[in-house]
Amino acid sequence: MGTRLKRRSKDKKMPKIRQKSMEVALSKAEVLIEALPWMRQWSGATIVIKYGGSAMENLELRSKVLEDILLLKLIGVRVVLVHGGGKAISSLMGKLGLEVSFKQGMRVTDDDTMKAVQMALVGQVNTSLVEALNKFGHYAVGLTGADGCILRAEPLDLSLGRVGKICEVDVELIETILGSDYIPVVASVGFGDGGSYNVNADFAASQIAVALGADKLFFLTDVDGLYADFGDKDSLIAQMGVEEAKALIGSKGLSSGMIPKISAAVESIEGGVGQATILNGTSPHSILIELFTNEGIGTEIHKEI
Ligand SMILES: Nc1ncnc2c1ncn2[C@@H]1O[C@H](COP(=O)(O)OP(=O)(O)OP(=O)(O)O)[C@@H](O)[C@H]1O
Ligand SMILES: [Mg+2]
């Protein structure tokens, strides 16, 4: 239990100013009531959240995401957080004097780069997310893909070094941690023969979601969702079926980080996850708005529409 919250002392008479604040309080109560059926729907559900490195740069905005995650946990959602951290890796590599190089959008990962990936993802990003969640209580446990053999990987392409393709997922440890009422926070580092592998966090999240039989998978990124054509800001897609998403993967409207994300979303739905939603993690409380209000936001991908 945290410290007990104190309520304002009650006045004997009700002055005008207090009447005004009662109206505000009432409208807050109405917001909670609007959320009630949604809370009932999501309480007890399993939700995997992939938190993109691009969306966690600003600490103030990051704290809004973490507040949403805590609220989910407190209403009984089984939340699993999976994170990347591309920017943190590149920045650390710069400080260590390592050359950053990408091939087909993937980071060429030699042995020294792999050490930097671990230092940045596990040592910095994972620890910092766990610390921030645990500021409010005993809530989070930090993990890498090697813990409990969560993410077993094999080389994707030898010319990319230690870039790994996930070949096996084991969620027993994640289930144990969820069963003990903690939030597992997983860094997207895989392990396999010969040590650690740099695995794509979108796929790590989707495969963990599939293995858990998750009800929902969020991809928190730094844009409002998926644009049919990224150059056209009016082309934001609110929802679509898997077949439509698959057709987009090969189109010219989709580039860079959105290609693995949509492929991972498709993979998750085909693997039985209820819905996959691409959401802007830099827009305050986007998770709460998406889950608990009548205004759906972001891009939702599901089996049938
Ligand atoms: N059609 C599209 N719609 C939306 N975003 C797109 C599209 N095509 C390309 N993008 C790009 O994809 C980016 C999101 O993927 P990116 O890999 O950069 O972030 P992330 O996956 O959230 O973070 P990280 O890779 O660090 O975990 C957006 O910032 C945008 O520039
Ligand atoms: Mg990405």
Counting atoms of ligand 1 from 1, which one is nearest the CA of 260? 17
Mean pLDDT score, 204-227: 97
Least confident window among 3-7, 78-82, 142-146, 285-289? 3-7
| pLDDT the model gives residue 254 | 81
| pTM passes above 0.85 | yes
Mean pLDDT score, 131-135: 96
For 24, the token pair is: 């505000």
CA 89 to CA 107: how far, in whole Å?
Answer: 10
Between 106 and 40, residue with greater pLDDT: 40
Mean pLDDT score, 212-241: 94
Mean pLDDT score, 235-253: 89
- Specify the pairing of strand 299-302 against strand 239-241: parallel
CA separation, residue 294 to residues 35, 36, 43, 237, 275 (Å) = 8, 11, 17, 17, 17
Least confident window among 12-21, 54-63, 190-199, 261-270? 12-21
Mean pLDDT score, 11-25: 75
Q: Minimum-distance ligand to the CA of 220? A: 1
| pLDDT the model gives residue 12 | 63
| pLDDT the model gives residue 64 | 95
Contact 298, 225 (CB under 8 A): yes
How remote is the CA of residue 258 from the centroid of ligand 2, in Å?
A: 7
| pLDDT the model gives residue 69 | 97
Does pLDDT of 155 surpass 90?
yes
Does pLDDT of 76 surpass 80?
yes
CA 137 to CA 229: how far, in whole Å?
Answer: 43
Q: What is the pLDDT of residues 218-232, one digit of tens each?
A: 999 999 999 988 888
How remote is the CA of residue 138 from the centroid of ligand 1, in Å?
A: 32
Strand order in the sheet with 46-51: 140-144, 183-187, 78-83, 46-51, 216-221, 275-280, 299-302, 239-241
- Average pLDDT of the chain is 92
- Closest-CA residue, ligand 1 atom 23, reads 52
Is the beta carbon of 224 within 6 A of some atom in ligand 1? Answer: no
Q: What is the pLDDT of residues 250-291, one digit of tens each?
A: 887 787 789 899 999 999 999 999 999 999 999 999 999 999
Give the pLDDT band (50/70/90) at residue 10. Answer: low
Q: Residue 228 gets which letter from DSSP? A: S
Contact 141, 173 (CB under 8 A): no
Is the beta carbon of 52 within 6 A of some atom in ligand 1? Answer: yes
| pLDDT the model gives residue 8 | 64
Strand partners, 202: none
CA 193 to CA 43: how far, in whole Å?
Answer: 39
Counting atoms of ligand 1 from 1, which one is nearest the CA of 53? 26
Ligand 1, pocket-test mutation among 62, 90, 203, 221, most atoms within 8 A of CB = 221
| pLDDT the model gives residue 3 | 64
